[in-house]
Structure formats: C-alpha cells, structure tokens
A and B are shown apart, each in its own frame.
Chain A
Amino acid sequence: MNSRTREKIDSLLKLIFKGAGFLTITLLAGIFFLLFSNSILFFLDVSPLDFFTGSQWDPDTHFSIIPLLVSTFWVAIGSMLLAVPLGVLTAAYLSEMAPRSLQTVLKPIIEMLAAIPSVAIGFLGIVLVGPGLAQLFGIQNGLNALNGSVLLAVMALPTIVSISEDAINAVPKSHREASFALGANKWETLFKVTIPAAFPGLIAAVMLGLGRALGETMTVLMATGNSAAIPRGFLDSVRTITATIAIEMGEVPYQTTHYFALFAIAGLLFLITMVINLTGEFFANRLRKFDA
C-alpha cells in the first residue's frame, strides 16, 4: 500500500470516529429534547402548582408528583442509611485492616454484587426479604418502603464500597505515618486522620450510590407494594417515580395529559439524578487532584 492510500485511510477513520461521537451526542440530546418537550406539553394542561403541591396521583384526575417523589426519597434515603455506614466500614476494613490476601479476594466479590440483575434482587425481595420483614415487624405486608430500602442498599453497596475504598487508599501513607508516629493507634488514625482526609471521595461514593438508588426501577417495582399514596413510615407500601413510569407507560393512551405527565415526572427524576451525579463527579474529581 502506498503512502497516499494510507493517509486516505487516516482521514476516512477520522470521519468514522467523528460520526460515532456526534451520533452519541445527538442521541442524548434527542432524549433530553423528547423528555422536556413532552413535559412542557403537560404543563400546558396542568399547572405546576398543582403538580408540586397536590397530594394525589390519580391518572384520571389528579397529577401530583408529591406521593411519588416522597416515596422515591423515602426508599432511597432509607437505602443510604443502611448502605453508607456498612459500605464505608467495609471499605475501611478492606483498605486498612484486612490482610492483602483477603483484600484481593473480597473486593472483586463485592464488586460482583453489581452484576446481579435487578430483577433477581426484586425476586429475592418478594420471596425472602419482604416476608422476613413482615414476620420481624408483625405486619401483613412485607412489600413496603423498608423492603425496597434493604434491596437498594444491597445494590448500592458495590458502588459505595468500591469508590470509598479507592478514596481511603488514595490518602497518602505519610498522613498515617505522621499519626502513628505521634502515638495514635489504628482506630484513632482511621477515624481522625484517614477518613476525614478521604471525605470528598466518600461524598462522591455516597452520591453515586444515591444516584443508583434513585434511578433503580425493577427492584422497587417488584418489592415496594406499589401504592401511590404519601407514605407515613418505612412500613407503608410506596410507589416510586420509576415504578410509576414503568407500570403506566404501557397502558396509557397516546398524547393524553396522563401520557405527558409520565414524561414530566421522568424529566424531574432526570434532573434530580443529574444533580446528584454531578455532585458526585465533582467530589470524585477533587479526590483525583488531591491524589496528585
């Protein structure tokens, strides 16, 4: 092949790569456009005031996101309350205390939790965790917010453990040496020096875990009881934004207020997860700078 042909291949490849890049961006922009244009159509029918202040989600008459939003946060915050302490302590153990042999085995196993399909976790919720919770609290129905929180905690753990472990590992060894040389023990060094120094990374871990919990659909759809009312406690059934969209989108008549309403709640969920993920990324980047 002569040089001229080889250079032509270069410019052809450049075109292909450029095309791939633009296609991806166009797709994303398209999704964004679709969500928000349909949301606007919804707000032509229903005033934002009703949307954000009402207390009922009833697809024939009332479109208030509040019960769904409260359900979503109830489940997600509950999952974080369980997953954050467990995840950070696991990460601290892996990074600071576990012998290297155990560390090399445990971390991949925990990261493998992320590979379990969400439908399988939802299934476990129905047959195992839900009935277990019902028995534990002496209630009829174990398919409630707490059930969803437990399952989402399991799903968020790999993210939280993995990123927290990276964050703790990235704390320079000299900080620990300084602390030990002053006569601090492992416990004091971990909680007063290492974890505070890793804090931006831990925030990133929590944010990314929370993003995952907010966006998860199948598990909460299967395991939280699907009652679109404002929950009063962790033992009430709930219905998250994601589950609502998944349930109703299949049956909704095309181009009705209800149809647009589903786009509106999806758009809001998108905004929330985007803010949370950006916050997480922001802190993760700060961690990288700190590392260098």
Chain B
Amino acid sequence: MEEIKLRAENLNLYFGKKQILKNVSIAFPKNQVTALIGPSGCGKSTLLRSFNRMHDLSPDAKIEGKLFLENLDLYDKKNSVTDIRKRIGMVFQKPNPLPKSIFENLSYALNIHNYPKHSIPNLIEAALKESFLWDEVKDELKKPAVKLSGGQQQRLCIARTVVLRPEVILMDEPCSALDPLSTKKIEELIEKLKENFTIVIVTHNMQQAQRISNKVAFMYLGEIIEFDTCDTIFKNPKNELTQRYIGGHFG
C-alpha cells in the first residue's frame, strides 16, 4: 500500500462566479511523480496552485473543500501559510529567478527562514549539485541569475526550491519554455528528485508525462476524469474522453 503525501477532498474553487474546479478529490503518493494532464483551461494549474495556497494572492478566488499535507489541514487558519509554502515548494512555468545573483537566489529563502549563516554556503552547494547545476555555475555564483540560459535558470529555480528541503515540489509546466536538450536535463533531474521529494507536475506534453510519471490524472473542464498508473492511462484508459485526449483527437 503506497503512502499518501498530499490530497484534496471535494475541492471546489471559484474565481468570482466562475467555477474552475468541480468536486476534485485526489491523493498523491509519496516519493512518486504524479502528472496532471488535460487540455488548456481544464484547471490543472489551478489545482496545483491551491496546494501551496498561491490563490491567497487573488482576492476573488474562493475555495471550498479540504486539502491536506499528510494530516495538516492546509487551509486551517491556525496553520502558517509561509510554513506550508516552505514544506510545499513550487517551480513555475517560466523560469523566474529573482533579479539577484545566483548565490542570493538560493540564500534568499534560507535567510528568510532563519537558517544559521554559517550553514548557508554548504546548503547551497548541496542544492546546486542535487539540481545538476553546480558544475556549470560553481565559479560564478556572484553572476546575476538572469544571465544564465533558460534551462539553467529553470534548474536554478528548482535548486532554490530544493534548498529548503520541502516535502512536496509542485511543478507547473516547468519545461514549456525550454528547448529539448534543457527539457531532457530537467526530466533526468525529476527522475532523481523523486527519491527525496513527492512531485506533482502539470504538463502539456504527453510524451513527457509518459517518460517521467508514475501516476497520471486526466482533467477536463475542472474535473478529474481518470486517475491511474501511467501505464493504464496511456495504454488502457477506461474513460472515452481520456482515450480521445491521449489519441490526440482534441486538446
């Protein structure tokens, strides 16, 4: 029996009057990669962003239902949102390094969470190694992060997330702005990261989902249509909608 790390129960989400997520219940297993697929506008990113409470930033978002990290109720007012975001990291669609140096991009979060000063350089080195970036940047940590290539920037953003040792990493189409080679590197990285982290990834790329994920959820119009192992979804889908989407009949 696999261990569940992150789950949603009867989640409804509205932007103003428009309902984006409809009664979504899903559970993500620990130390696995779960991919969310589905056509644009089906609510994949919205679902992803509700786990680290990014919707708190939009005043017209309304959430019903329950979300849990193990037994922690993510939307309970008693729980600290900054603490939740430290435990559930996020990598965005477009690489978004802060306008600071490579080093500062990683030390920023460590400083905020009061890591002791002397431990910071070592943590940063470890995170950069873990993100396959150390060899490329070890001699120029003071360089502005925006000077890196797109793929390097995205690996820096992953390193920046990894350095806080979160339990879950949410990835919102992390390769959609990258070239095929950088994409390959990130996929290898994800394969490695799942040993230590639980990963939920939104992707538009069906081959990518097939290559990297253990489980796949197909979403359509704000609902989870089918959620199963990667093999079942791609080789033997039960739902007709899933079949048609996998087959490329709509998108």
Q: How many residues of chain B get a CB closer than 8 Å to chain A's CBs?
A: 25
B96 and chain A: residue at smallest CB distance = A174
Residue among A175, A182, A193 having the largest count of chain B Cβ atoms under 10 Å: A182
Within 64-117 of A, Cβ neighbours of B (below 8 Å) are at: 99-100
| Bitwise interface map of A from 163 to 195 toward B, beta carbon under 8 Å scored 1, else 0 | 000000000101111111111110010001100
Given A174-B92, A174-B94, A192-B108, A181-B85 contact (CB < 8 Å): yes
Q: Are B86 and A183 in contact (CB under 8 A)?
A: yes
* In the assembled complex, B161 has its CB within 8 A of some CB on chain A: yes
Given A178-B157, A196-B99, A183-B83 contact (CB < 8 Å): yes
Within 13-55 of A, Cβ neighbours of B (below 8 Å) are at: none
Within 74-126 of B, Cβ neighbours of A (below 8 Å) are at: 82-83, 85-86, 89-90, 92, 94, 96-100, 108-109, 112-113
Q: Which residues of A contact B89 (CB under 8 A)?
A: 181-182
* In the assembled complex, A197 has its CB within 8 A of some CB on chain B: yes
* Total residue contacts A-B, CB cutoff 8 A: 64
Chain A: minimal CB distance from B250 (Å):
30
A interface, over-half SS: helix
Q: Are A178 and B52 in contact (CB under 8 A)?
A: no
Q: Which residues of B contact A180 (CB under 8 A)?
A: 54, 57, 85
Within 166-210 of B, Cβ neighbours of A (below 8 Å) are at: none
Q: Which residues of A contact B85 (CB under 8 A)?
A: 180-183
Q: Which residues of B contact A188 (CB under 8 A)?
A: 112
B82 and chain A: residue at smallest CB distance = A183
Given A174-B96, A188-B112, A192-B108, A182-B57 contact (CB < 8 Å): no
CA distance A181 to B85 in the complex (A): 6
Q: Which residues of B contact A179 (CB under 8 A)?
A: 98, 108
Q: Which residues of A contact B82 (CB under 8 A)?
A: 183-185
Q: Which residues of B contact A184 (CB under 8 A)?
A: 82, 108-109, 112
Q: Which residues of A contact B96 (CB under 8 A)?
A: 172, 174-175, 177-178
Query: A-side interface residues toward B, CB under 8 Å?
Result: 99-100, 172, 174-185, 188, 192-193, 196-197
14 A-B residue pairs with CB within 8 Å: A172-B96, A174-B92, A175-B98, A177-B57, A178-B97, A178-B98, A178-B160, A180-B54, A182-B109, A183-B86, A183-B113, A183-B164, A184-B82, A192-B112
